[in-house]
């Protein structure tokens, strides 16, 4: 049956209208989809920022930076070295005019002190004794006893924690060393930065109390151990010029401090090798005109 031309035109017009409606619907759907995806990305980004903010805020609430469990490395890390680079391997002749020595803690494991005593660099030994408010190096007493039996010059050190009062740290240190049997001046190891919440005044006050208490107890100022960069940031102001310093800087040349101050001992490597010790050990030496007499216990 034939369809009138007018009817065909009407049908075509209706089909065009339907097609246009379909296109409009698809365009609107695309817009809606784009809007939904944009909103989803926005909320995910906002959520990520919120998590990072909370994490950052939490990290600012601690009183100190915790370097490693157990509970901190006794081996100093004064001047950070980029990952993948080796610390310089520095060797000195056994005929060196300088006296060298070792810093030892439980990180060196079981030490053969008879063998250590045969090492030409074993001119003096500093042993980690305590840290903060209650940590005692688990090998300290045995190391101290056996090093003395081997005929070595031995001293003890305390690792300072800025978040603990000076009085508490002093009592903890003195109560766990034998002050009548030390050969060398005690060392106060200072390398933990004060937290963002701690004022420098509080940091210095706690350190002052510890240092002054030890000085009063033994009748002579203890040695302050720190890294070159740490010294330049906190000690170059001259506040502690009366104290002898042991400066750690793992380089080929003796470190020069910002204020050109003198210091007694230079710790030049954390990857040294010594007889009787498995693995690495911190090695230092007296510098300039300083002699062993400058670090002997009174």
Asked if 258 and 122 sit in the same domain, the reply is yes
Residue 181, domain member (yes or no): yes
Are 274 and 108 spatial neighbours (Cβ–Cβ below 8 Å)? no
What is the rounded average pLDDT of the residues 56-65? Answer: 34
Residue matched to tokens 């906002």: 46
- Per DSSP bridges, beta strands 265-272 and 281-286 are antiparallel
pLDDT band at 43 (very low <50, low <70, confident <90, very high): low
Confidence band of 32 (pLDDT split at 50, 70, 90): low
Query: Do 54 and 142 belong together in one domain?
Result: no
Burial of 63 (0-12, 13-18, 19+ CB in 10 A): middle
Length of the chain in terms of residues written: 298
Q: Give a yes or no: residue 151 inside a domain.
A: yes
Residues 131 and 275 placed together within one structural domain of the fold: yes
The one-character DSSP state at 294 is G
| 27 and 113 together in one domain | no
Question: With contact defined as beta carbons under 8 Å apart, do 217 and 245 qualify?
Answer: no
As a whole number of angstroms, the distance between CA 271 and CA 268 comes to 9
Per-residue pLDDT tens over the stretch 234-263 = 999 999 999 999 999 999 999 999 999 999
Give the pairing type, strands 100-104 and 281-286: antiparallel
* 111 and 38 in a common domain: no
Residue 238, sorted as left (phi over 0), alpha (psi -120 to 50) or beta, turns out to be: left
| 287-291, long-range: CB < 8 A, 24+ apart | 287/98, 287/254, 287/263, 288/262, 290/264, 290/265, 291/99
Residues 109 and 43 in one domain: no
Domain count, the chain: 2
**Among the ranges given (58-72, 97-111, 133-147, 195-209), the one the predictor scored with the smallest mean pLDDT:** 58-72
Domain with residue 262: its CATH number is 3.20.20.80
Asked if 143 and 53 sit in the same domain, the reply is: no
> Do 136 and 38 fall into the same domain?
no
In a shared domain, residues 181 and 39: no
Q: Is the pTM of this model over 0.75?
A: no
Examine the pLDDT at 14 and tell me if it is beyond 90.
no
8: containing domain: 1-59
Considering the domain boundaries, does residue 95 fall inside one?
no
Question: Could you tell me if residue 87 is inside a domain?
Answer: no
* pLDDT, average across residues 161-184: 98
Based on the fold, state whether residues 121 and 267 are members of the same structural domain. Answer: yes
- Is residue 285 domain-resident? yes
Model confidence pLDDT, tens digit, residues 66-75: 333 333 333 3
Is there a domain that residue 81 lies in?
A: no
Residues 104, 28 share a domain: no
């Amino acid at each position: 049956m034939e369809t009138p031309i007018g009817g065909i035109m009407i049908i075509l017009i209706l089909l065009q209208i339907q097609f246009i409606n379909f296109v409009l619907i698809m365009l609107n759907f695309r817009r809606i989809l784009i809007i939904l995806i944009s909103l989803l990305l926005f909320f995910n980004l906002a959520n990520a920022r919120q998590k990072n903010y909370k994490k950052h805020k939490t990290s600012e609430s601690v009183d100190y930076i915790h370097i490693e469990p157990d509970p901190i490395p006794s081996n100093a890390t004064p001047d950070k070295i980029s990952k993948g680079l080796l610390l310089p391997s520095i060797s000195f002749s056994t005929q060196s005019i300088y006296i060298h020595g070792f810093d030892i803690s439980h990180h060196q494991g079981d030490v053969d002190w008879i063998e250590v005593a045969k090492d030409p660099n074993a001119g003096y030994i500093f042993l980690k004794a305590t840290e903060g408010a209650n940590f005692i190096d688990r090998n300290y007493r045995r190391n101290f006893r056996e090093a003395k039996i081997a005929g070595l010059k031995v001293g003890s050190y305390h690792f300072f924690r800025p978040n603990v009062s000076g009085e508490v740290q002093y009592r903890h240190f003195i109560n766990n060393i034998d002050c009548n049997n030390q050969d060398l001046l005690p060392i106060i190891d200072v390398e933990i930065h004060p937290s963002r919440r701690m004022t420098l005044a509080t940091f210095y006050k706690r350190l002052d109390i510890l240092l002054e208490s030890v000085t009063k107890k033994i009748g002579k100022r203890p040695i302050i151990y720190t890294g070159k960069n740490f010294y330049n940031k906190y000690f170059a102001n001259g506040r502690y010029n009366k104290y002898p310093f042991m400066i750690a800087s793992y380089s080929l040349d003796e470190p020069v401090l910002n204020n050109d101050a003198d210091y007694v001992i230079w710790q030049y490597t954390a990857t040294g090798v010594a007889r009787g010790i498995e693995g690495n050990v911190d090695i230092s030496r007296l510098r300039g005109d300083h002699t062993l007499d400058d670090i002997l216990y009174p």
